């Protein structure tokens, strides 16, 4: 999740005010031309409500004004004095705080209205000539295309690493972006903002990354550019995947990398080529071992599960022996929604629990989920009805424990053991012992006094120079 500024249009600051939503803590600086007109640190206080503080060591500057502290709808305003930076750029810079300190700062720019004494003709949209090379099919050597200056100055570029994403100018409103992408300003809700740093190859000014919900609705030139980039990446990914599958053996890391590549193409299942075939199906068609149930399971082992689910839900041509639980727009508690991978390459299933929120856009769902009281992990799932739903979630840690015990049993240091506290009730101990006998045979249960566990933990913390109280409570 990231902070996102609503993309203002010219009329948004005709009254001298720039409004923006706040999603994550950070430092906000707004400049009109060369003048800083507002700056402040945006944080959440002990009451879990938004507050704005002056930046320490920063020259005296007006603070952004809080207009809403309602959880999930936090909003601030910045006064834009009349005439400030006339004809120049209004620049918003947001440096992330807390968990996102290493993320590049967000920058957005918009053109400020000129002063009345600037000749209007300097700023009018003039027709410019752009020379284009035509293909051989039209029988012409070349042609001059007349484009309006507005269209020529509003570039859109396919992301080189993720061709399903597009880069557009940071100064544009959602209506302007929709007009450029779909030819219809009313389609402002047909795309979502993706928090990504611009690639090094991006044209100057392309600072906002978007994901369109219905790629076939793109204007022909952008759809053709996206397909060309996907075709090139598909060829490279198929070659890489074949090299992995032809290896004598595939270790856990190799299987995970192969599954990740397949899932990346599964996310492009809504994009079709000129013949109407999805790019996910084209990827599977080129790799028989991945689309065949028996071969897939033999090669990938337990790592095959996410790919099986993706094939069952997203492929139009191929099937997988996987029972999908999320056919309904609203998931039932316990539905598998993903898999969490540990540093050692092992993984556990992630299951959805309770529905927390339902929104019409990813941005609003992130905002709601971000500001709800934290007690469990959260996931956001897009529904076939176009809505985004946030759920509380849990990881099947018990399965991970069993895998660790199984690995321990292979070591030449005796049978694996599990340390439990003496506060565990008798019936619970019996159930645990029965469970281990079925799933991790040979595991020994060692009962230790809780006071002894706490004392040894305290000594270990002192030896490692750790603080007395670590986040998360009593170990």
* DSSP assignments along 203-268, one per residue: PTTEEEEEEES-GGGS-HHHHHHHHHHHHHHHHHHHHHHHHHHTSS---HHHHHHHHHHHHHHHTT
Beta bridge partners of 53: 41
- Residue 417: CB atoms within 10 A of its CB come to 13
Residue 475 has pLDDT above 50, yes or no: no
Q: How many residues are there in the chain?
A: 475
Least confident segment among 45-59, 264-278, 288-302, 420-434? 288-302
How many CA atoms, within 13 angstroms, populate the side-chain half-sphere of residue 264? 17
Distances (CA, A) of 252 to 264, 336, 410: 18, 21, 17
Q: Give the per-residue pLDDT at 431.
A: 73
Q: Give the per-residue pLDDT at 216.
A: 92
469 close to 460: Cβ distance less than 8 angstroms: no
**Angle, helix 304-314 to helix 252-266, in steps of 10 degrees:** 20
CA 260 – CA 280 distance, rounded (Å): 13
Average pLDDT over residues 217-239: 94
Residue 2 has pLDDT above 70, yes or no: no
Q: Give the per-residue pLDDT at 283.
A: 92
Q: Among residues 38, 1, 5, 40, which one has the least CA distance to residue 22? A: 5
Q: Among residues 61, 44, 46, 47, which one has the least CA distance to residue 97? A: 44
DSSP category for residue 276: S
Give the list of residues 6+ apart from residue 109 with CB closer than 8 angstroms, or none.
Answer: 89, 90, 91, 92, 170, 171, 205, 207
3-state secondary structure of 356: strand
The answer to whether the pTM exceeds 0.95 is no
Least confident segment among 50-54, 312-316, 356-360, 451-455? 451-455
Beta bridge partners of 221: none
Query: Residue written as tokens 């506060």?
Result: 423
Residue 165 has pLDDT above 90, yes or no: yes
Q: Which helix (H) or strand (E) holds 358?
A: strand 347-359
pLDDT tens for each residue of 395-425: 765 555 556 656 655 555 566 677 777 777 7
Give the list of residues 6+ apart from residue 289 with CB closer than 8 angstroms, or none.
Answer: 245, 295, 296, 299
CA 243 – CA 261 distance, rounded (Å): 13
310 close to 323: Cβ distance less than 8 angstroms: no
Residue 391 has pLDDT above 80, yes or no: yes
């Amino acid at each position: 999740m990231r902070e996102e500024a609503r993309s203002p249009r010219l009329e948004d600051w005709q009254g001298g005010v720039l409004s923006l939503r706040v999603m994550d803590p950070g430092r906000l600086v707004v400049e009109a031309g060369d003048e800083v007109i507002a700056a402040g640190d945006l944080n959440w206080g002990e009451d879990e409500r938004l507050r704005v503080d002056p930046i320490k060591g920063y020259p005296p500057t007006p603070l952004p004004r809080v207009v809403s502290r309602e959880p999930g709808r936090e909003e601030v305003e910045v006064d834009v004095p009349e005439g400030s930076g006339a004809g120049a750029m209004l620049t918003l810079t947001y440096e992330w705080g807390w968990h996102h300190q290493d993320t590049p700062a967000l920058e957005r720019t918009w053109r400020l209205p000129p002063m009345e004494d600037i000749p209007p003709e300097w700023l009018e949209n003039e027709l410019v000539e752009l020379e284009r090379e035509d293909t051989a099919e039209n029988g012409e050597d070349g042609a001059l295309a007349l484009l309006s200056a507005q269209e020529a100055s509003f570039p859109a570029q396919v992301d080189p690493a993720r061709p399903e994403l597009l880069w557009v100018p940071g100064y544009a409103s959602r209506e302007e972006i929709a007009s450029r992408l779909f030819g219809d300003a009313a389609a402002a809700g047909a795309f979502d903002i993706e928090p990504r740093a611009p690639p090094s190859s991006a044209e100057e000014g392309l600072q906002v990354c978007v994901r369109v919900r219905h790629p076939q609705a793109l204007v022909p030139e952008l759809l053709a550019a996206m397909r060309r980039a996907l075709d090139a990446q598909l060829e490279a990914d198929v070659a890489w995947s074949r090299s992995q599958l032809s290896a004598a053996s595939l270790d856990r890391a190799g299987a995970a990398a192969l599954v990740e590549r397949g899932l990346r193409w599964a996310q492009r299942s809504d994009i079709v080529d000129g013949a109407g075939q999805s790019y996910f199906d084209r990827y599977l068609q080129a790799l028989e071992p991945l689309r065949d149930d028996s071969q897939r399971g033999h090669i990938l082992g337990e790592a095959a599960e996410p790919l099986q689910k993706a094939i069952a839900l997203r492929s139009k041509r191929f099937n997988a022996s996987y029972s999908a639980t999320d056919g309904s727009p609203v998931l039932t508690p316990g539905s598998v929604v993903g898999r969490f991978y540990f540093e050692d390459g092992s993984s556990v299933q992630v299951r959805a629990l309770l529905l927390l929120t339902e929104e019409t856009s990813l941005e609003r769902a992130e905002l709601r989920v971000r500001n709800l009281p934290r007690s469990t992990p959260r996931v956001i799932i897009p529904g076939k009805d176009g809505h985004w739903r946030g759920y509380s979630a849990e990881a099947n840690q018990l399965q991970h424990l069993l895998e660790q015990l199984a690995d321990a049993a292979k070591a030449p240091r005796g049978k694996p053991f599990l340390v439990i506290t003496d506060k565990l009730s008798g019936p619970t101990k019996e159930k645990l012992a029965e469970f281990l006998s079925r799933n991790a045979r040979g595991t020994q249960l060692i009962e230790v006094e809780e006071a002894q566990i706490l004392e040894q933990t305290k000594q270990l913390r002192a030896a490692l120079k750790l603080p007395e109280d670590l986040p998360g409570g009593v170990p």
